[in-house]
Chains A and B, each alone.
Chain A
């Protein structure tokens, strides 16, 4: 499962909640000279900003810093190849789908982009299949590569703010993950601590937004052409 910084930081917030809720342990990290030269201190210990957590057959990748535009291709390829070599049965990526009238939406809807139409049966009614549209960024490349090599992949994209952290959208995404994977991750904490999460994530969101501009993330607003 991927929870990388993206629209509304939906993936990071949802992924972090899943990791802490089911008590996953840190099992590795992703390192690259393409990332900014930084570490994140947690409990006084320096850690990579992109870490891998595991428990039983579930592995979650969380990113605490914006993925630089120049690292998008290599990181997408590396994650898919690593998952494939490890025998992963499904890659589930959690992200946001920006909507301009987000303030007026009480319950954000979750959409799913699939590497293969047959995967729709895994959704268990938790998300609406995205038939047409653009996806830009790491998840887009991962989805395409998974389709090419026949590795099942789903990108769960929840209606969210574009450049504001969105814990409510993250909660909706976690509910979908619960249905797909049969987990019981509690989402009430995300809603209760919503304001704190928004304030603490402000700076990561700002840097993520700058990278989203560089990869033309705004193209996800575009209406796709008729042919296809």
Chain B
């Protein structure tokens, strides 16, 4: 492979990496689906995977967690009331949100059986047993 071709491939790789990083960092306000992608964290333990999620304004009685594949979970949580971008000081975009929605890939396969979740101080904590 020529030096120029290698340089071009590397530039393409860098550009793709930057695009992925920007997409990952993009705001999670989905106006079309009226949903918000929450901030989340995944901790891999010896026997379980612990997922936490920051859910301000969430309705504690409207939180659903599902294991939709061996290594993927889906969280849907309704807010106590509709939140508009206008309420948050954003005037140039319109949008109302009443749902937190996240699809998260787990670092290892997990079981739905034995899964537990609790909401404390507006932070959801999900415990998922690892598959053996």
Contact = CB atoms under 8 A, between A and B. Distances in A.
Interface of A: 100, 102-104, 161-165, 168, 194-196, 198-200, 202-203, 205-207, 209-210
Nearest to A66: B25
Given A196-B56, A202-B27, 4 more contacts: A164-B54, A194-B56, A195-B122, A202-B38
Given A198-B56, A199-B57, A199-B83, A163 B25 contact: no
Contacts of B112: none
Contacts of B57: 195, 199
A173 B64 CA distance: 35
B51 to A, nearest CB: 13
B89 A198 contact: no
> Chain B interface mostly helix, strand, loop or mixed?
mixed
> How big is the B interface, by class?
20 to 34
A194 B56 CA distance: 8
B21 interface: yes
Nearest to B89: A200
Contacts, number: 55
Contacts of B39: 163-164, 202, 205-206, 209
A195 B120 contact: no
Contacts of A209: 39
B74 to A, nearest CB: 20
B83 A103 contact: no
A42 to B, nearest CB: 10
A220 to B, nearest CB: 15
B41 interface: yes
B60 to A, nearest CB: 13
A198 B122 contact: yes
A202 B125 CA distance: 18
